[in-house]
Structure 1
Amino acid sequence: MQFKHPEVFYFLLLLLIPILVHLFQLQKFKKVAFTNVSFLKKISLETRKSSRLKKWLILSTRLLGLLALLFTFSQPYFSSKKVEEKNHNFVYLDNSMSLNTNGSNGNKLRIATQELIENSSELDEYTLLTNDEIYRDLTKKEFEELLKNVPFSSKKGNLEQKLLEIESQKNTKSKTLYKNILISDFQYFTKNKNTKFTNVNSAFSLVKLKNSQQNNVSIDSMFISNNTADEINISFVIKNQGGEKKDIPVALYDDENLINKRSFSIEKDNAKNIEFSIPKTTNFKGKIQITFDDIFLFDNTFFFSINSQQKTQILSIGNDSDFLSRIFTQESFDFSSSSLQNVNYNTIPEQQLIVLNQLKNIPSVLQNSLVQFLKEGGHLLIIPDKELNISSYNTFFRLFANGSINEVRKDSLKITKINFDHPLYTNVFSKRVSNFQFPSVAYQFTNTLQGDQIISYENNRAFLQEISNPYSEVYWFSSPLDSKTTNFTNSPLIVPTIFNIGQRSLEVSKPFYTLQEENTIEINKKIKKDEILTISNEAESFIPLQQSYPNKVKLTTKEKPILPGFYKISLKEQALETIAYNISKEESSLDFYSTNELTKVNENFKVYDSIEELFTEINQKNEVQWLWKLFLAIAIVSLLLEILILKFFRT
């Protein structure tokens, strides 16, 4: 038994009052002797005994009544917690797109919110966490209103992050009991199920929302497979999870206009490429859509855009090299070359990439211009001359990087290693080639320059590396690229390497971007200092993080936008470009933690079959059985007994 107001028991001293009154009334009788009243003596003795019994009964009822009243005002109760302790429920409700599917009773997220509303207690406080927001210190009514309007989110739920967020919230309240609740389908996006959720020591109650089917067809990605003067071939990767599926309709739209329609079949747990051809165009707002009733419907539509291609501005300073002009074609690049003596320094800030092609010296004027160019976001490719001035180059490197050139070595070495994970080679190789025809070099410059190796010699030294610096991308070949020094210019590897260095110098808009991931877009547009670019569609508009350079604007998006579809990049009222966003393909995964796996992940996890079962247990543990009515009844009964004794007990 516990008491809400135990301080009331200080008034137990009041029980002395009826005791003192009783003692005061217990007067002793005097013995008076008479000769002929023996019969009266016997009556007097009996009366004294009855009177004393009556007084003891009255004292007992009064003490019992007062004691019962004290217990009544102290408000006794039975409960597993103290009554002044509030129960605060931290509820993480996964509202990712994978919950936007139907279970046996309807949409899984909507059913979960309804069960939370029906089973949560009026007496508790709540903190609601979703994939996007945290709502703190809610009453039951506020909790209900938020649950009714929880939207689906394109942001992936990170279970470990949510656990740590809940842990960090529990340090501001006193006299509070906590219940940590996770409600999710517990989808995982990698094959590593062995996450231990370190630094999480509190007990967590988990409710797993189960899927009723295990079949899904999704549009995984798209790419431009061929780009000719007249048409563009677009390939879409369709992914199937589950059994074989036949005759699935697929349609291609330009905005809302149907361009092409066909059907396809796909094997069990397989992927398939579907190709469409579209006319060469400057602005294609593409949408591909499959019609199939499966577990997820959000991944049956895929958005992409094709804009008029922006040309990368490239200036080569130094010797003329035929291979550069052959790779940097006029279709994709605005390429020009100049000797060192004829450089127009005013044009350097307008470039995206500058190639130092076999310069023997780098004059200080050019060095300063190039460093400023790097600081403003430009990129640099350095191809050394076999007779370069090491001191001049090292002076230049010290302006922006760590390390230096040491010496030239006339060793014949083969180029044998490719860093396939470097961004230069993204989507270049279908597999990691190990048996290609190795090019070789006659001599090379050893150095201590810091940075990632892109192509390496057989002795593990870098042939091409990206030099680390705080400004931009700087590429360094450790060997000249003339025909007398190396046959690398005749290798198939030179084309994707040099071409992608040029392409990466201006981050032209991709056919599509993924929501809630960090995306970088560069617009080849010179804007004034007080001007800003906006991204918008019919539903939302926002100003992205942006950096202005002399000849371009670099945009970065992550938290916004939140909805898939087409968006315009605009300067005031002028639309510059159309881009497309899609939900992450990871949301289409049908890989989920099982109940047994969840309990093995962390010993503090307890899994419940339903939200109702969980909250029934919570409410039972928090139930308070008040006893003050019982003690009030005892006090009333004691008073009635006293009245009856006084009225009917004759002495």
Structure 2
Amino acid sequence: MQFKNPEVLYFLALLIIPILVHLFQLQKFVKVPFTNVAFLQKLVQETRKSSRIKKWLILCTRMLLFSAILFAFSQPYFSNKNTTKNQHTYIYLDNSLSTKTEGEKGNLLQIAAQEIIKNASKKEVYSLQTNTDFYKDISYSELKDELLKVKNTAKKLEFNSVFLKINNLTKNKTNTLSENILISDYQYNYNDKFTNVTPTFSAIKLTPSTKTNISIDSVFISNRNTNNFTINVVVKNQGEAKKNIPIAIFNDTKLISKQSYSIKKDTLETVPFIIQNQANFLGKIQITFSDTFSFDNTFYFSLNSTKKVNVLSIGNEADFLSKIYTEDEFNFTQSSLQNVNYNSIQKQQLIVLNELNEIPETLSKSILDFSNKGGNIVVIPNENSEIESYNNFLEKIGNSKMESKVSDTLKITTINYEHPLFKNVFQNKVSNFQYPNTQSQYSISSKNSSKIVSFENNLPFISQIKASENAIYLFSSAINKNNSNFLNSPLIVPVFYNFGKMSFEHSKLYYYLDAKNKIDVETNLEKDEILNISNSEASFIPNQQTFQNKVTISIKEQPYNTGFYYILRKKDTIQTLAFNTPKEESLLNFMDLNSLRENNVNISIFTSISAIFENLNENNEVHWLWKWFLSLAIVSLLLEILILKFYKP
């Protein structure tokens, strides 16, 4: 038994007062002379005894009366919680796209929201976390309103973010009992997110009724010629083999082609479509099949006119550059130091300083200005470079320094496979290729650089100097045939090709929602002019940065829905973007909560939302006893009245 006002019980000590009054203020009998009282002796003894019993009974009833009143005012109760503490319930409801499917009772997200509304206590305080919103310290009615409005989203929320929110809430709340409820389908492998310091929480798993799914994994273009090209649709199957699945491709709303295909169990299948060449193709691929998820049966992509990257090489003429920077993808220009057109520098995306003996001050200023406006630079030193001239340039542009030349043959042995320059270049790490070498090299010191390719002594051969708006790639050795055989290495093509391609972020075939996307748009904006992105349903202004001849757009939070979106300058459409749902949402990989609980004692698992709220309401239920003590006080008072009225000693 617990007490809401336990301090009232201290007044029980005052009950000693009626006891003392009873003991020391007894009624005194007066002696009356009488001639012969022998026959009254027995009667007197019986009367005195009955009087004492009556007084003891009255004392007991009064003591019981006062005690019952004091207990009633202390408000005793039976409960698993302390009423002096507030109850706060934190609810995380996973509204990711993977909960947009059917369970035993219907749509997983909608049924979960309805069951919370049905079973949650109307008296408690709640905090509701979804993948997009957080509502702190809300009442039941506010909780109900938000749950009725909740919708599926492509935005993902990691469990460590949920736990961080729980810890922050708990830390800021005193005299509060907290209950944490996580309702999710527990998609993906999140085992590394749960540790012994994970907050205590109750887990409810939303389970889809169907255990098979077909999704469009990706799209790529091949066999492009003057007449047509091939659109390759990669389809992923999870579950049993399937036959005669209809698939269609549209140009916006116009049906272009339709076919059917079969796919084996748990595998990928590539479905090709041969399409006639046409400008600005708005592709939509659609699969007609009923499975776990319907959102991944439609895929969007767009074919924009690809802009060529402007590349300028200043210095020695290099045939290998003209072979890499071909006319179909690049506008490549070579110029000697004496014939540089300084007016054309700002129109480039990539400038290669190819084995200059020195970097004059005039060129240094132009290149520095080009770099500050977002242009990328490749610096290849000469075997006999004037180190002072190079250092004046490198210190200004990248806070770097070139040491004296070392004449020593070194092999180029180490590749940084994690660098973006080699993304999708290697399927596996190469450990036994024929190492190229250099006859001489310069030691490079830089406070802010990363290695791309290194020598056998771990010194950098190619490094990237980190800059906020651009990329600066620095070779530590000349690469002409007299000093190195690097031009014969398989690395030469992907390295320089990606130098060019990464200098301008062309729009891709498609993008994913809730992902960091970066796009370069070739346009010259006027002062205070901005680009916006929109379609028939939504419009927003993305983060953007304006440079000399381009605008770099960064997208993360928006858009919210799949489909085609248009980059607009005022009312003119510059580019078309296609957005799709993250393909991870289509995975049928879910956590086993039972195995998770074995390693985490802080986790309680419930089979349904109603079960957890029944348990919570039962633990929070308070059985008040003050009414019983008040009734006891009334009974004691009635007993005293009856004793006084009917008990005649």
TM normalised by structure 2 equals: 0.92
Contact 1:289-1:300 at 8 Å conserved across structures: yes
Shift of residue 45, structure 1, vs aligned partner = 5.2
Give the match for residue 372 of structure 2.
375
Q: Give distance in 1, aligned partners of 2:77 and 2:543.
A: 58
What amino acid is the match of 2:512?
Answer: T
Give the match for residue 30 of structure 1.
30
Query: Is it true that 1:517 corresponds to 2:515 in the alignment?
Result: yes
Instruction: Give deviations 1:309-337, integer Å, cap 9, x for gaps.
Output: 12222222223333333332333223333
Q: Give distance in 1, aligned partners of 2:355 and 2:172.
A: 65
Secondary structure of the 1:274 match is strand
Pick which of 586-595 and 467-476 moved more.
467-476
Contact 2:510-2:579 at 8 Å conserved across structures: yes
Choose from 603, 606, 616 the match for 2:604.
Answer: 606
Give the match for residue 574 of structure 1.
572
Secondary structure of the 2:152 match is coil
Q: Give distance in 2, aligned partners of 1:268 and 1:579.
A: 33
Secondary structure of the 1:579 match is strand
Contact 2:191-2:596 at 8 Å conserved across structures: no
Q: Give distance in 2, aligned partners of 1:12 and 1:495.
A: 94
Give the match for residue 398 of structure 1.
395
Give the match for residue 168 of structure 2.
168
Choose from 250, 255, 265 the match for 2:252.
Answer: 255
Choose from 581, 584, 601 the match for 1:583.
Answer: 581
The 1:457/1:83 distance shift into structure 2, 3 A limit, reads closer
Query: Is it true that 1:104 corresponds to 2:104 in the alignment?
Result: yes
Pick which of 471-480 and 402-411 moved more.
402-411
Shift of residue 643, structure 1, vs aligned partner = 2.5
Choose from 279, 285, 288 the match for 1:288.
Answer: 285
Instruction: Give deviations 1:565-585, integer Å, cap 9, x for gaps.
Output: 211112222222111111211
Contact 1:238-1:272 at 8 Å conserved across structures: yes
Pick which of 262-271 and 416-425 moved more.
416-425
What amino acid is the match of 2:169?
Answer: Q
Instruction: Give deviations 1:340-366, integer Å, cap 9, x for gaps.
Output: 223232332222111212321100121
The 1:627/1:481 distance shift into structure 2, 3 A limit, reads same
What amino acid is the match of 1:247?
Answer: N
Q: Give distance in 1, aligned partners of 2:244 and 2:78.
A: 66
Shift of residue 549, structure 1, vs aligned partner = 0.6
Q: Give distance in 1, aligned partners of 2:297 and 2:155.
A: 18
Shift of residue 553, structure 1, vs aligned partner = 0.8
Shift of residue 156, structure 1, vs aligned partner = 2.1
Q: Give distance in 1, aligned partners of 2:440 and 2:262.
A: 54
Contact 2:438-2:485 at 8 Å conserved across structures: no
Q: Give distance in 2, aligned partners of 1:605 and 1:530.
A: 54
Pick which of 177-186 and 426-435 moved more.
426-435
Give the match for residue 625 of structure 1.
623
Shift of residue 296, structure 1, vs aligned partner = 1.5
1:325-474 → structure 2 map (5 Å cutoff): 325-408=322-405, 418-432=415-429, 438=434, 440=436, 443-450=439-446, 451-456=449-454, 462-474=460-472
The 1:316/1:11 distance shift into structure 2, 3 A limit, reads same
Secondary structure of the 2:137 match is strand
Q: Give distance in 1, aligned partners of 2:51 and 2:414.
A: 115
Instruction: Give deviations 1:105-134, integer Å, cap 9, x for gaps.
Output: 212222222222222222322111112222
Shift of residue 185, structure 1, vs aligned partner = 1.7
Secondary structure of the 1:329 match is coil
Q: Give distance in 1, aligned partners of 2:606 and 2:346.
A: 63
Give the match for residue 132 of structure 2.
132
1:520-531 → structure 2 map (5 Å cutoff): 520-531=518-529
Contact 2:398-2:467 at 8 Å conserved across structures: yes
Secondary structure of the 1:170 match is helix
Choose from 296, 302, 308 the match for 2:305.
Answer: 308
Contact 1:353-1:502 at 8 Å conserved across structures: yes
Q: Give distance in 2, aligned partners of 1:431 and 1:321.
A: 31
Give the match for residue 70 of structure 2.
70
Give the match for residue 556 of structure 1.
554
Query: Is it true that 1:202 corresponds to 2:199 in the alignment?
Result: yes
Contact 2:218-2:235 at 8 Å conserved across structures: yes
Secondary structure of the 2:611 match is helix
Give the match for residue 642 of structure 1.
640
Q: Which runs of 5+ in 2 are unaligned?
A: none
Q: Give distance in 1, aligned partners of 2:409 and 2:614.
A: 78
The 1:477/1:24 distance shift into structure 2, 3 A limit, reads closer
Q: Give distance in 1, aligned partners of 2:355 and 2:335.
A: 12
Query: Is it true that 1:95 corresponds to 2:95 in the alignment?
Result: yes
The 1:391/1:24 distance shift into structure 2, 3 A limit, reads closer
Q: Give distance in 1, aligned partners of 2:150 and 2:370.
A: 48
What amino acid is the match of 2:269?
Answer: K
Shift of residue 44, structure 1, vs aligned partner = 5.4
Shift of residue 15, structure 1, vs aligned partner = 4.3
What amino acid is the match of 1:239?
Answer: K
Query: Is it true that 1:236 corresponds to 2:244 in the alignment?
Result: no
What amino acid is the match of 2:128?
Answer: L
Shift of residue 457, structure 1, vs aligned partner = 5.2
Secondary structure of the 1:145 match is helix
Q: Give distance in 1, aligned partners of 2:590 and 2:284.
A: 29
What amino acid is the match of 1:596?
Answer: N
Secondary structure of the 1:296 match is coil
Q: Which runs of 5+ in 1 are unaligned?
A: none
Q: Give distance in 1, aligned partners of 2:243 and 2:394.
A: 60
Shift of residue 552, structure 1, vs aligned partner = 0.8
Give the match for residue 268 of structure 2.
271
The 1:462/1:83 distance shift into structure 2, 3 A limit, reads closer
Secondary structure of the 2:339 match is coil
Contact 1:325-1:335 at 8 Å conserved across structures: yes
Q: Give distance in 1, aligned partners of 2:386 and 2:218.
A: 49
Pick which of 44-53 and 202-211 moved more.
44-53
Instruction: Give deviations 1:497-540, integer Å, cap 9, x for gaps.
Output: 32221111111111111211211111111112311111222332
Shift of residue 31, structure 1, vs aligned partner = 1.5
Q: Give distance in 2, aligned partners of 1:546 and 1:239.
A: 35
Shift of residue 305, structure 1, vs aligned partner = 1.2
Shift of residue 462, structure 1, vs aligned partner = 4.3
The 1:194/1:624 distance shift into structure 2, 3 A limit, reads closer
Secondary structure of the 2:366 match is helix
What amino acid is the match of 1:606?
Answer: S
Instruction: Give deviations 1:230-262, integer Å, cap 9, x for gaps.
Output: 333222221112221111111111111111111
TM normalised by structure 1 equals: 0.92
Q: CA RMSD in A?
A: 2.7
Secondary structure of the 1:288 match is strand
Contact 2:505-2:519 at 8 Å conserved across structures: yes
Contact 1:156-1:587 at 8 Å conserved across structures: no
Pick which of 460-469 and 99-108 moved more.
460-469
Q: Give distance in 2, aligned partners of 1:13 and 1:464.
A: 88
Instruction: Give deviations 1:540-581, integer Å, cap 9, x for gaps.
Output: 222221111111111111122222221111222222211111
Q: Give distance in 1, aligned partners of 2:562 and 2:193.
A: 33
Q: Give distance in 2, aligned partners of 1:175 and 1:66.
A: 32
Contact 2:438-2:479 at 8 Å conserved across structures: no
Secondary structure of the 1:341 match is helix
Q: Give distance in 1, aligned partners of 2:472 and 2:356.
A: 16
Give the match for residue 508 of structure 1.
506
Percent of residue pairs bearing the same amino acid type: 50
Contact 2:403-2:445 at 8 Å conserved across structures: no
